Amino acid sequence: MIEDALVTKLASVAAITALVAARIYPNEAPRGENKPYVTYSKVSTSRTGHLQGVAGDGTTMTRLTVEAISDLYSDVKSVGDAIRAALNASSIVTYPATWGSTRIMKA
């Protein structure tokens, strides 16, 4: 699954784990979790197509949202930059990607 590949990639990047340790969660973090942390969610999955119809090889395009969450903008910016760099250099992202989801949350 793409989510497993995402977590494996994020957890293997020292620049990310230095900031969030192992705090990478699907959908939402446990209540009271230390910040900063990362959440990810699958937004959609669609079969890829071409001019002759849908690709017959089962190829899909999955859209995910990945959020860096903290009380401090500087943490969010650092984590987001590290995620962006890691995924841009990864084979996980094979389709043009748009980056930009960050959230600052006060306790």
pLDDT, tens digit only, all 107 positions of the chain: 778 888 999 999 999 999 999 999 999 999 999 999 999 988 887 766 666 665 566 666 777 888 899 999 999 999 999 998 888 877 766 555 555 555 555 54
Q: State the pLDDT at residue 107.
A: 45
Residue 69 contacts residue 105 (beta carbons within 8 Å) = yes
Residue 81 contacts residue 69 (beta carbons within 8 Å) = no
The two tokens of residue 36 are 């900063």
Residues 6+ apart with CB under 8 A from 61: 45, 46, 47, 48, 95
